[in-house]
Amino acid sequence: MPYLGINREQQWAALVSMRDNAARSMLEIIWSKISVYFNVEMPWCGVDEIEFFAPLLYAIPVEEGDKVGWKFKFIEMKEVELKKKILTRLGARVNR
């Protein structure tokens, strides 16, 4: 799957922001699920692009006694921080 919405601390990215075409990203997620479930190839067109999602809200699963629910964590990211993350990820990808 091209997207994983869970970070290392088991926090689910419930709401994200992106600069790319959101409809295209949603199609890629749907195509990925279909291709895995039915074991078929989908129309990727040989595109190897990086799409960046900035998490805005994390949903964290919590369990208290016999109750299970979600704790929410809001993420505020300034433009400078977002650009730094993008450059860091691009650098890591180039150095592979």
pLDDT digits (tens, 9 = 90+) for 8-40: 787 888 777 777 777 877 777 788 778 888 888
Average pLDDT, the chain: 76
Tell me how far apart the alpha carbons of residues 28 and 36 are, in angstroms, rounded to a whole number. Answer: 12
Q: Write down the pTM of the prediction.
A: 0.53
**Rounded alpha-carbon distances, angstroms, from residue 33 to 40, 52, 96:** 10, 19, 26
Tell me how far apart the alpha carbons of residues 58 and 16 are, in angstroms, rounded to a whole number. Answer: 9
Instruction: Judge whether 89 and 52 are in contact, CB under 8 Å.
Output: yes
pLDDT confidence bin for 90, thresholds 50/70/90: low
Among 95, 52, 48, 94, which residue's Cα sits nearest to residue 77?
52
